[in-house]
Amino acid sequence: MIRFGHLERYVLARTLSGVGAALAVIGAVILLIQFVDLSRSVGTRADVGPATIFGLTLLRTPSLLQVLLPFVVLFGGISAYVGLNRKSELVAMRAAGVSAWRFILPFAAAAFVGGVLAVTAVNPLAAALNARFEGERARLMENYLGDAPEDIWLRQGDERTQIVIHARDRDTVDGTVRLRRVSLFVYQKSPSGTLEFKRRLEAGEARLMPGFWQLKDVREATAGESSVRSDSLSIRSALDAESAMERFASPEAIAFWRLPAAIRMTEQAGFSAYGYRLRFQQLLATPLLFAAMAVLAAAFSLRLARLGGLAGLAGAGVALGFVIFFFNQFAGALARADIIPLFAAAWAPAVVALLSGLTLLFYTEDG
């Protein structure tokens, strides 16, 4: 059971202060790097000033910062524990017979709660801000000839019908997805389960309205029959504006709460949702990874300062944090290549980090 006496609250306050300082430093570094990068990629191609570039930077930074939040916990925890150690406060606590677990577990529990908040609150906010960033950048760069639009491919369907949608360009106007120079290929499932081509629609523009696609300047061709032209036509759709835009985004750009729906709709349309499933499992493992980083921070900082080597041990903890980061990326790449199960790829980094920290703590505390 975790105790929250004066001692635990004092150490927890120091560790949270360290995490806050680490968050401020890493956030400032990301802001600076992103401002320089956007100044080069957007500022030199569009007629915008520093204020606009800084606004884009603020929209982009949360999505980058959330990737580094586990390491903010690690670096902040190491900084706090090393500070307590060098001031001999940890020595006094342990000389009084206080077990290290008394001031480690509250920080680990707080880190776990922070991980839950990062997944349920920070991640959706970062995804929303990143979507605004992509829209603003596309608007500013729309007249730059070097950024030619890429073809858009969508797919929607149900148990009986599948529709493949191809467009040359897209944008979003007042929250409405608009596709231009659109081709729709309509297939119907036979009793045996195979798809049979039924008709093709060509439209100058398609707007995604609630429950349907509104097509303009339409030419409809059915197999074995001549084409028919019409000014407008409606096609039923289960997509909404947000889920349609998510088809253009990577799994990392989709908010946690929308991932289950994205998985369901992607599989319903006949696509593989493996990347979305991996991302969902990685987000579920995030609170455990936060707690593991808190344990690692303590494990690499409890060596008595008078014995020497504390700085080297803390540096080893920072290095291990980078190793875990690359291990997480490597495991994700193996899962996407279908070499290892996605559950193992998502949870292995957090479990390995936690077991490493506990092993070192057991060795330090209990010999």
Predicted local distance difference test score (pLDDT) of residue 145? 41
The answer to whether residues 16 and 100 belong to one domain is: yes
Residue 171 and residue 119 share a domain: no
- The token duo for 350 is 């957090």
DSSP 256: G
Q: Which of 237, 269, 289 marks a domain boundary?
A: 237
- Tell which of 205, 237, 269 closes a domain: 237
Structure tokens at 102: 């008394």
Q: Is residue 256 part of a domain?
A: no
What pLDDT score does 281 carry? 92
Q: Say yes or no: 58 and 87 in one domain.
A: yes
| Separation of alpha carbons 316 and 139, rounded Å | 45
For residue 32, the model assigns a pLDDT of: 93
The number of folded domains in the chain is 2
Do the domain assignments include residue 268? no
**Domain contains 20:** yes
Distance CA 6, CA 16 (A): 15
In contact, 104 and 292? CB cutoff 8 Å: no
Q: Does residue 136 sit in the same domain as residue 164? A: no
DSSP string over 68-135 = HHHHHHHHHHHHHHHHHHHTTHHHHHHHTT--THHHHHHHHHHHHHHHHHIIIIIHHHHHHHHHHHHH
Distance CA 314, CA 358 (A): 16
Residue 88 makes CB contacts below 8 A (sequence gap 6+) with 305
Domain shared by 211 and 284, yes or no: no
Residues 284 and 135 in one domain: yes
Give pLDDT, residue 2: 58
CATH code of the domain covering residue 195 = 2.60.450.10
* Whole-angstrom distance, CA of residue 213 vs CA of residue 227: 20
Is the model's pTM score more than 0.85?
no
Question: 135 lies in a domain?
Answer: yes
The reply to whether 326 falls in a domain is yes
76: which 2 tokens?
Answer: 């902040």
- Tell me how far apart the alpha carbons of residues 118 and 122 are, in angstroms, rounded to a whole number: 5
Among 237, 122, 223, 130, smallest CA distance to 179 is for 237
User: For position 148, what pLDDT does the model report?
Assistant: 46
Range of the domain at 170: 159-237
List beta partners, residue 199.
Answer: 186, 222
From 179, 211, 237, give the residue that closes a domain: 237
The predicted pLDDT at position 70 comes to 92
Beta bridge partners of 152: 167
Question: How far is it, in rounded angstroms, from Cα 299 to Cα 295?
Answer: 6
10-residue averages of pLDDT along the chain (367 residues): 73 91 94 89 74 89 90 91 80 74 87 94 89 77 52 73 79 70 83 78 85 85 76 79 57 82 72 80 94 89 60 74 85 84 90 87 68
Residue 167: per-residue pLDDT:
82
Whether 339 and 284 map to the same domain: the answer is yes
Question: What is the identity of the amino acid at 99?
Answer: S
Q: Where are the alpha helices (DSSP H) in the chain?
A: 6-38, 50-86, 89-95, 101-117, 123-140, 241-246, 259-268, 274-284, 286-299, 310-336, 342-366
